[in-house]
Structure 1
Amino acid sequence: MFGRPRKTFARLRTSARAKASSGPARRPHNLFEAAAVYVSARAEDDQDRIDEATGWVSPEALSFGVSELACRAVVALARERDESPRTVARALLGLPVA
């Protein structure tokens, strides 16, 4: 009674393993890679790369990665300009200095 479903499942499992082992070994993208590609693609208005990056990680992970990238960019610019991160962030957004 269960012989046929068991054989079918075993065949599918073997097929899936063969596909996985036959392809090149690719590591998954991490959220920081996705964020870097996403932000640079947005800056260049490259919709294909934007779509690609959004498929690499969950929306929550991408949001966290973009936020982390923004923080690091503001800190790096602040150090470069010898200004406070608050001043740099407001200037980047076109806000008046508070």
Structure 2
Amino acid sequence: MWGRFRRAGGKVADALRTEPRAEGENRPHNLFEAAAAYVTASAENDPERADEAAGWVSPEALSFGVNELACRAVIALARERGRSPEAVARELLGLPGA
């Protein structure tokens, strides 16, 4: 399941990237890159990488990016499973059906 989130986050970040990032390039990260890296690091239980990604953008921007990634992931999983986004979200969180 987390593999899907990582792939979705990577696709979102790649889609929003306007120029390829060269090795060692010091270009600022956008909020979706930060969110994808932060969520991936959190899912892989890597607090150092999560902290690094959290430092790329403001806390508000990171929160927005993580929220957007969560919404897109739930919608993608709902479509894939043929279920409602609410049912998928509740299932992911281990909540009983509504």
Q: Report TM bin, short chain.
A: 0.7 to 0.9
The 2-side partners of 1:95 and 1:68 are apart by 21
The share of aligned pairs that are identical, in percent, is 75
Identify if the C-alpha distance between structure 1 residues 41 and 25 changes in structure 2 by more than 3 Å, giving closer, same or farther. Answer: closer
CA RMSD of aligned residues (A): 1.0
Q: Give 4+ residue runs of structure 1 displaced > 6 Å after superposition.
A: none
Alignment gaps of 5+ in structure 1: 1-23
Q: TM-score, normalised by structure 1?
A: 0.73
Tell me the matched-pair count: 75
Deviations 1:30-88 (A, max 9, x none): 00000000000000011111111011000000000000000000000000000000000
Greater radius of gyration (CA)? 1
Q: Greater share of helix residues, 1 or 2?
A: 1
Alpha-carbon separation, structure 2, partners of 1:47 and 1:77:
26
If the length of structure 2 is used for normalisation, what is the TM-score?
A: 0.73
Q: CA deviation at 1:25?
A: 4.9
Instruction: Identify the structure with bigger relative contact order (alpha carbons < 8 Å, sequence gap 6+).
Output: 2
Question: 1:26: how far off?
Answer: 2.8
2:57 aligned partner: 57
Map residues 24-63 of structure 1 onto 2, 5 A cutoff.
25-63=25-63
Given the alignment of the two structures, is residue 76 of structure 1 paired with residue 76 of structure 2, yes or no?
yes
Asked if 1:66 is matched to 2:66, the reply is yes
